[in-house]
Structure 1
Amino acid sequence: MRLIAGKPMIQWVYERTAQCSQLSRVIVATDNQRIIDCVHQIGGEAVLSEGEFETGSDRIAGVAEQLGLSDDTIILNVQGDQPLIHPQSLSALVDKFIDNKDKANEMATLGYALPFKEAQSSSIVKMVIDYQQYALYFSRSIIPYGRDEQPKYLLSHLGVYIYSFGFLKRFRQLESGYLENLEKLEQLRVLENGYKIQVMMSEYNSPEVDVDEDIENIEQLIE
């Protein structure tokens, strides 16, 4: 609800997500009535989630059940702290996921190559991937570690996921693992249980808002 350049952050996220032409419906899933009211004021759709949820993906699964969605419904999860998420990156991710839906990618996400000096904060999640662009690991620490020289870039993880509702129901049934609880990263539950996450590199960064200082940085980028 914090204002960014005169608009609540959730409005930025909603409006930019709605510019992704492949989406047939954009819904804000929240447990907060103030957010519901805000989204309704801008003509958007929002659903008040029922129950307690450990992660955003768990909440989305709960709301999908409330809405009675079918298992083959493809769900794009854009986290609410992504005011600069780029519609073109979302469209590219949707296309890639649909094109590869018969392969072993139950889930896909976005990454961005961030200069090493800009990726130090633990609030920026880093990741490493294999040659086929599947995620090997996500961490708040610097990965990979350069023993003899530091890398010029680190792959930062953008807070976007795509999956079918059928897989999302499976995700909810999985126990949260040691790594997920340690790093507080929900995507590690997927890797710990042997599932794959495909990574698509984005041309556009989407810095998150975690602390007050981030809002000032976002406003400078908007300007």
Structure 2
Amino acid sequence: MKVVGVIPARYNSSRFPGKPLADILRKPMIQHVFERVSASEKLDKVVVATDHEEIQQTVLDFGGDVVMTREDHETGSDRMAEVVSKIEGDIFVNVQGDEPLIHTGTIDKIVETALDNPESVVTAKTPLKDMEDVQDPNVVKVVADQKDSAIYFSRSPIPYNRSKEPIKYYKHLGIYSYPRDVITKFVDLPESTLERAEVLEQLRLLDNGYTVKVIETSYDAVGVDTPEDIDKVEKIMGVTK
């Protein structure tokens, strides 16, 4: 089976316009992401999906592959579906374009799980250690069953710990693998009630009966949402290099 990594990279961002081109240790952020994703041993191909010619040219300049997509996509999944319609592949892994610290091992584990479960979507979770994060609606939580299939995603603390016994909470990480036919069908499904309530696109999958496998990783996403986040990422890179 051919496995393709897709990195959506929009130019327009309300908090950080041109974010994929932001300089991090003398490289554009999109290059850091591309190089990390390309280091995966499980991906057969990696492409950047963008709507902007400057990002396209930047990717070509550092030797990457790029697919031009429409500007009017509302989500990364919509942009990914357009990529799927243009290139060959059986499994497509969506990696956020604003995570220059993405962990290659997490990508590999997702692909391994996807190959073992070729009809399932696969995503990731990491343990939450801070109760402030558990209570934070901006930190999405996930619960899975004993077979590692997602039961629910929520901005609320789940499960509710009425027993007061020690319990683990998990943060959902925004990385997904999709079988080709699932992503093409998924983006055409109507928005679900739960999706509208939580403003979480992945709930549309559960609402429509799709299985979402959840792997556990120690990697905790460090995304770049604002210009101020660049300093934080550079400091981490300085420690890890």
TM beyond 0.5: yes
Q: Kindly indicate whether residue 129 of structure 2 is the aligned counterpart of residue 115 of structure 1.
A: yes
Contact 1:83 1:208 in 2 (8 A): yes
Cα deviations by residue, 1:138-176 (Å, 9 ceiling, x for unpaired): 123332333464866421111211111111111122111
Paired with 2:190 and 2:220, the residues of 1 have a C-alpha distance of 31
- Give the 5 Å matches for 1:70-219: 73-101=90-118, 106-117=120-131, 119-120=133-134, 121-147=136-162, 149=164, 153-219=168-234
Amino acid at match of 1:126: K
| Number of equivalenced pairs | 217
* Normalised TM-score (structure 2): 0.81
Structure 2 residues not aligned, in runs of 5+: 1-20
Contact 2:114 2:120 in 1 (8 A): no
Structure 1 stretches of 4+ with a deviation exceeding 6 A read none
Structure 1 residues not aligned, in runs of 5+: none
Distance 1:150 1:83, change over 3 A: farther
Q: Secondary structure, in 3 states, of the residue corresponding to 2:174?
A: strand
Distance 1:150 1:14, change over 3 A: farther
Paired with 2:138 and 2:25, the residues of 1 have a C-alpha distance of 22
Paired with 1:214 and 1:143, the residues of 2 have a C-alpha distance of 28
Q: Secondary structure, in 3 states, of the residue corresponding to 2:85?
A: helix
Which position in structure 1 is the counterpart of 2:8? none
Amino acid at match of 2:116: D
Distance 1:12 1:141, change over 3 A: farther
Distance 1:149 1:211, change over 3 A: farther
Which position in structure 1 is the counterpart of 2:32? 12
Q: CA RMSD in A?
A: 2.2
- Percent of aligned positions with the same letter in both sequences? 40
Paired with 1:197 and 1:219, the residues of 2 have a C-alpha distance of 33
Which position in structure 1 is the counterpart of 2:70? 50
Q: Secondary structure, in 3 states, of the residue corresponding to 1:66?
A: coil
Amino acid at match of 1:190: L
* Normalised TM-score (structure 1): 0.87
